[in-house]
């Protein structure tokens, strides 16, 4: 599943990627528990920063880190 960009004063523009590099634009994040990306996109449309030109990225997160899966059970 890919992410989406929500922009415009009332969040009326929703597009699939491309995404900027995180090191350049992340000012914070919200972690939401939702049914799917469509529900998260609807929530993003209510962001109060959209009328000021803010663009919200909506992305899924991994259930578990593949890196951590490889080290589980190893002695510290």
Residue 76 lies in a domain: no
- Terminal alpha carbon distance of the chain: 34
The domain in which residue 9 lies consists of 4-71
Radius of gyration (C-alpha) of the chain in whole angstroms: 15
User: Is 53 among the domain residues?
Assistant: yes
- Comparing 23 with 65, which gets the higher pLDDT? 65
Classify residue 11: in a domain, yes or no: yes
pLDDT at position 70, please?
Answer: 62
Task: Say what percent of the chain tops pLDDT 70.
Answer: 66
50 part of a folded domain: yes
Indicate whether 16 belongs to any domain. yes
Q: What is the pLDDT of residues 23-38, one digit of tens each?
A: 556 677 888 889 998 9
Distances in Å between the Cα of 71 and the Cα atoms of 63, 65, 75 are: 16, 10, 9
Residue 38 lies in a domain: yes
Reported as a single tens digit per residue, the pLDDT across 3-20 is 888 888 888 888 776 665
Q: Is residue 12 part of a domain?
A: yes
Residues with Cβ within 8 Å of residue 37, at least 6 apart in sequence: 1, 3, 4, 58, 60
- What is the number of structural domains in the chain? 1
């Amino acid at each position: 599943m890919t992410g989406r960009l929500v922009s415009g004063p009332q969040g009326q523009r929703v597009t699939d990627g491309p995404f900027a590099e995180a090191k350049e634009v992340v000012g914070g994040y919200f972690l939401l528990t939702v049914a799917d990306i469509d529900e998260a996109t609807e929530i993003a449309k209510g962001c109060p920063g959209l009328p000021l030109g803010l663009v919200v990225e909506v992305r899924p997160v991994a259930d578990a880190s593949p890196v951590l899966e490889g080290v589980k059970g190893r002695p510290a």
